[in-house]
Structure 1
Amino acid sequence: MTQTSVPDDRTLTDEGLAPARAGRILLIACGALAREILDLKKANGWNHLDLTCLPAKYHLYPEKITDAVRETVAKHRAEYEDFFVVYADCGTGGGLERACKELGVQMVAGPHCYSFFQGNESFAKTAEDEITTFYLTDFLVRQFEAFIIKPMGLDRHPELRDMYFGNYEKLVYQAQTDDPALTEKARACARRLGLEFERRFTGYGDLEATLKTL
């Protein structure tokens, strides 16, 4: 599977893949956010931020996230003045937040990326009314087969669709970019799951606002 991310055990500096200079901030991010973070770095000239990504597949195994973040901070502690974890809680049950406090590093606020892309305050207001809504981001639309269809076995057993999605009514595509082709792919995803479709342009939401504070 091709995904836009930095190799798991390397650090992206402005000079390319190389040892990072001391005094910089290392972003430890979900691989599913790599493209968005790199775009924001380029657009805003955030040359003081370096990026390393954990595997995007940890979306499927959130119990691995906290230990992986701990290991990454320990690995690079001597190289960086500070760290910032570009994950929300993401299914860790508060474990990631507790680990970040112990490590003395900050992280993105919110329960998951759907919330901080829409804006945590806005998402909190709509979440109760959208309990039957399934969300996709740009990354998940691009990787729909790899992260939704295949892990759920729907490629082999399409009859399982009703078991997984029978209680959902709508698919909301949270668009980070204006890409007509991606919108059409998201619409096709909704049809495949038998759900109503809504495109909601969020841009980068609280992700951009948070990284600006660094």
Structure 2
Amino acid sequence: MNTLLDNLDLFVEGFKNTLILFFFSAIFSLLLGLVIAGFRVSPVTPLRALGTLYVNTVRNTPLTLVLFFFAFGYPRLGLPGAQSYLVLAVIGLSIYTATYMAEAIRSGINTVPVGQAEAARAIGMPFGMTMTQVIMPQAVRAVVPPLMNVFIALLKNTTVAAGFSVMEAGAIRANLSERGEPAMASMLWVIAGFVVLVLILSGVQRWFEKKWSLAR
């Protein structure tokens, strides 16, 4: 307990930055994932090809390499946000996680009977309206469990940013080691923090599943 109380400043800063990374990466990756999922199921062949290329390329690239590019390659391009490793980590995590978001959303879309889309097209609804008004409202129940799994994976993936000068929860143990704190105790407190956050996300998932199961 002394390890936690004596170094509360490190734990607060680390988990605060972890939550910032998680929150913004979750929003941006979900928005980008929706766009990519739309490309993946689009009737336009070039858009489907673009979505497939994006998913297969980025998903098969290790996250460490993605963050390595944004930490050392992106600043050389002179683009906005290059001065902040936290911003760069959000960009890298969002681009990487969006591939898994897209596939989770696409799997939910595929659970909707094809006849629903055909009926929408038969009455003259364009693709975008069909997706937003017919397909996604029905797919959302099937999408929640895989999406929450992606969110949990994203939360754990934020620790990779510790290797690129981002002071988040994954960097707490190394900083405590410099202060002479026991490595095992430091690691156990970090693990406990992540367990609490994952349990909260799991509780949110169960709440949504219960709510929508009753609404059927």
When normalised by structure 1's length, the TM-score is 0.24
**Higher normalized contact order (CA 8 Å, seq sep 6+, divided by chain length):** 2
Greater fraction helix: 2
When normalised by structure 2's length, the TM-score is 0.23
